[in-house]
Amino acid sequence: MEILAFGVQADEQPLIESAFAGHHEVRCLDVFLNEDTAPIAAGYEAVSTSVNAELGARVLEALAAGGTRMIAQRSTGYNNIDLKAAERLGMTIARVSYYSPYSVAEFAWALAMAVNRRVVRASTRTRDFDFRLDGLMGRDMHGRTVGVLGTGKIGEAFTRIAHGFGMRLLGWDVAENPACRELGMRYVPKEQLLAESDLITLHVPLMPETTHLLDADALKSMKDDAILVNSSRGGLIDTAALVTELRAGRFAGVGLDVYEAEAGLFYVDRSLEAIEDDTLARLVTFPNVLVTSHQAYYTEDAVGQIIDATVRNVLDYEAGRRSENVLVPRS
């Protein structure tokens, strides 16, 4: 069986090909799976997709019509997949339920510190031999309050780093993490966390219940000089409302590795094109905002684990096995 892998980055391709060697042939494409590219998968029983694939009912129907029976998504999140449609079509859907939480947690901290200490602005200046310190003043993290929205594996890893900084720890989640409590975290209502935190970081999945978790009212309740970091899913923040707050001069810094309308933009070179997304175009103009391209997971360790899990998911499908990665089982 030959596997068709969509949305493969150049760094990933040799890792994917090596991981599948001895099991199956794999064809890697740099294009992303959507309604326009779905016909390419005709004749492939198994397809692997990236986090930005569009897997709504119409795309799944096109894949099924072409003979695809199994989709192995190379990510933990699956809010882009219509699971009910997949079940109706008799398709097997699997994801990667676990990979290095340190990859995302460490990158979230990189964003936090970069906006806090104005690293990008300083680097740009020094390239022009401008060594002034005006506008580069940051703040110590030690002794300040961090609010962690979502204290699963990634949130816990972020909290451990915050504990090392000597910060006061506030958490919010549907279930408390004993490991975070042992570090001194106090679980509080979301409203209290937003009002008291100097640094707020998001580590919850995107679901209907968490869409725009930080809406206009939530953003207004934050401190004027707070730092906000999102390395989870773009839809957790109402971006238009965030732009409104930034235009009012609020927030010491915002670090975003994700954007709610990133599909079709992120992972693609758009540098020679006019960006039609006015919200994103405005967002990147703020001097206290740093936007990166959904790369928090992108370490050798995490990507290797993601690819290994993807291979296992395909092999499990063939053998009729079911693991914790299966979202829709083989019918």
Q: Phi, psi at residue 254, to the nearest 5°?
A: -135, 125
Measure the CA dihedral 90/96/98/104, to 10°: -140
pLDDT at 93: 97
pLDDT at 219: 98
Three-class DSSP labels, 43-85: CCCEEEECCCCCECHHHHHHHHHCCCCEEEECCCCCCCECHHH
Report, as residue numbers or ranges, the catalytic residues: 233, 262, 294
pLDDT at 331: 72
Which residue has 């975003």 as its token pair? 256
Cα–Cα separations (whole angstroms), residue 215 to 155, 225, 241: 21, 18, 7
Kindly give the pairing relationship between strand 25-28 and strand 227-230.
Answer: unpaired
Q: Can you list the alpha helix ranges (DSSP code H) found in the chain? A: 13-20, 57-65, 83-88, 101-116, 119-127, 153-165, 178-182, 190-196, 216-221, 239-247, 278-283, 300-319
First to last CA, the chain: 19
pLDDT tens for the chain, 331 residues long, are 899 999 999 999 999 999 999 899 999 999 999 999 999 999 999 999 998 899 999 999 999 999 999 999 999 988 899 999 999 999 999 999 999 999 999 999 999 999 999 999 999 999 999 999 999 999 999 999 999 999 999 999 999 999 999 999 999 999 999 999 999 999 999 999 999 999 999 999 999 999 999 999 999 999 999 999 999 999 999 999 999 999 999 999 999 999 999 987 888 888 888 888 999 999 999 999 999 999 999 999 999 999 999 999 999 999 999 999 999 998 7
pLDDT at 273: 87
pLDDT at 140: 98
Instruction: Count Cα atoms within 13 angstroms, Cβ side, for 259.
Output: 23
CB 93 within 8 A of CB 81: yes
pTM (whole model) above 0.75: yes
Look up residue 106 and give its DSSP letter.
Answer: H
> Interhelix angle for 153-165 vs 101-116, to 10°?
40
- Read off the amino acid at residue 124: T
The rounded distance, in Å, linking the Cα atoms of 21 and 13 is: 12
Question: What is the chain's length?
Answer: 331
For the beta carbon of residue 92, count every other beta carbon within 10 angstroms. 24
Cα–Cα separations (whole angstroms), residue 148 to 27, 123, 202: 40, 29, 6
